Chains A and B, each alone.
Chain A
Amino acid sequence: MPTLTPIEAVDAAIAEEMRRDSTVLMFGEGTATKRHALLEEFGARRIRNTPLAEGIIAGTAVGAAGCGLRPVIDLLFAPFLCYAMDELVNSAGKLRYLSGGQFSFPLVTLAMTGGGWGVGAQHNHNNEAWFVHSPGLKVVMPSTPADFKGLLKTAIRDDNPVLFFMDIGLLYQPGEVPDGEHLVPLGQAAVRRRGGDVTLIAYGKTVHACAQAAETLAGEGIAAEVIDLRTLKPLDTVTIVDSVRKTGRLVVAHEANRLCGVGAEIAALVAEQAFAALRAPIVRLGGPDAPAASSYPLEQACAPSAEAIAAAARRLMRA
């Protein structure tokens, strides 16, 4: 099995899907400049540079998706999605419904997010929950190179608009990626580690912090189950609820602001569907209600650490 970084896995997924389906094309600011191999193989009609104008990039993609193409667009950094919000939320997310199902919008939007580069809050804003809250959109955020490829291939084939968030902290960390037809279904979480004492739920790079915490906890005789959500919408509620029914304890961790974040939805889901199984209060770990700073220690402190996750799990075991 080849070893790829997530950046390479993304390009591999796009190339495979473009070979498979002539309606797939990709555009964005610097797409043709930076993705040489794709430009060389597929030409300037299907790999395009655009103006630095996220609104028209997204609008063009939505219009093209509504009329038969399958665009992949690169909007670079997640805060730039604000300029594309109308096109993604009001057009891609709503015009299928408002037209009585006359149109569909097979469209993938790539955006980088999270700490790691010290770029500050206008380039680093984990705003994925905004899109989970918007009807008609799907939201994906992988944690492994294999999932970057498998989820992106599935997202390109999906007939709905998909927001594909790429955690900056992971982009250059290589890992094994299956060759060829590796498809990961949307809406299916991965149980990264089995355990019966406490459930740790995360997505993106925080999955690795949970895995590290689980390793530490194992040394203390605490068996943690680690769930990687992979897709934030549709959410794999069955895997979540089943795990908490088994363990009775839940820690949800993500880098995004805790307030109204994905963790809040998961806590509410568990309170509604597995309350009787809970042996301790639910813990949510997440970033503060503050923009992400550029300063390295402040930036890094937004993401829950393995130590904080392990400490939360220990508290729950004593509760």
Chain B
Amino acid sequence: MTRPASENELPQLYEQMLLIRAYEEKIVEASAAGKVPGTCTSVGQEAAAVGVVNALGGADLILTNHRSAAHLIARGADPGRLLAEVMGRSAGYCQGKSGSLHISVKELGVVLTSTIVGAELSLATGVALAQGMLGKPGIVVCFFGDGAACEGAFHESLNLASVWNLPILYVCENNQWQAFVHRRETMRRDHVADWAVPYDIPARTVDGNNVEAVLAAARAAAAEVRASGRPFLLETYTYRSRGHFEPDDQAYVDPAERAAWAARDPIAACRDRLLATGRLTASQDAALADKVQSRIAVALAFAEASPYPALSEMTTDVYA
């Protein structure tokens, strides 16, 4: 299970990343035009999400957070239903009641999505406990950021998961920014992986902007969780290229930092590798770009055509 991306996998990963970028850029454009509410985009973090999600099996469960579009699309969520959810329409995965911040898609194994920073960590232990007690196959993968790692829930979750031997793959997307504060101001260390050590949890940091490296590291980490039945922490070191929440002019970000990370854009890097190794031609690349753009156009039209929920929905599904 530690094999790297195979010859024919990389183009698929690349296409997923293109689709995610196109989806997020459409939201940025449409929210600037006032057609769609603002969101927390995953622009810049596509490789980190695509690499991990593609390392998982169908029985594995995923917990994510407010920056979830890349995880959801990589897992196979329909961009049209996602956009409908973002727009509060009834065709959304949560019938329009979630909006962008807490989209769960149980049928895809994306469960209990929460926008409270750190909540995904506190719920993941319970999800893993249930998997084990109910004898279900599949490990639990919990995506969180460096901001959540500064919450008490991170430390409580790792401690309990270690003590109780819970099969959780913790994936810290260290994207350098915690809402409007740089990680340097809130953490003494650069790497969240260091914080797993005192809980007796193995950890590794991988270049989160290299989709092949992330896929290989996530496969190895998931294999270790399956074999040991114990937690593992994988840190994908990456960058939040856009602001915390659209619209955001990022006036608080050092332009040199943005430029340095822009030069390491995960999609451009993947494209360069594919072109250089002859696995993709320029014309195929252009065709892929057209394909994802038209998928997103269809998705937006689908979402816009979906009605808002009836007002009677205001008080449904409060209680079971």
Contact = CB atoms under 8 A, between A and B. Distances in A.
A87 B320 contact: no
Nearest to B118: A86
A173 B316 CA distance: 41
Contact of B127 (A66, A87, A97, A102): A66
A63 B112 contact: yes
B296 to A, nearest CB: 23
A105 B317 CA distance: 12
Contacts of A103: 104, 106, 111-112
Given A63-B126, A67-B127, 6 more contacts: A59-B157, A66-B130, A90-B114, A101-B317, A102-B94, A160-B319
A7 interface: no
A53 interface: yes
Given A90-B119, A91-B119, A61 B318 contact: no
Interface of A: 23, 25, 45-46, 48, 50-51, 53, 55-56, 58-69, 71, 86-87, 90-91, 95-106, 135-136, 138, 159-160
Interface in B306-320: 316-320
B128 to A, nearest CB: 8
Contacts of B92: 100
A159 B102 CA distance: 21
A96 B114 CA distance: 11
Given A100-B95, A102-B104, A103-B111, A86 B116 contact: yes
From A63, A68, A105, residue with most partner B Cβ within 10 Å: A63
Nearest to A56: B156
B102 A67 contact: no
B317 A96 contact: yes
Given A23-B134, A45-B133, A95 B317 contact: no
Nearest to A89: B116
Given A91-B112, A102-B104, A103-B112, A66 B123 contact: yes
A66 B98 contact: no
14 contacts: A53-B160, A55-B156, A56-B157, A59-B123, A66-B112, A90-B116, A96-B319, A98-B94, A99-B98, A99-B102, A101-B317, A104-B320, A159-B320, A160-B319
B94 A67 contact: no
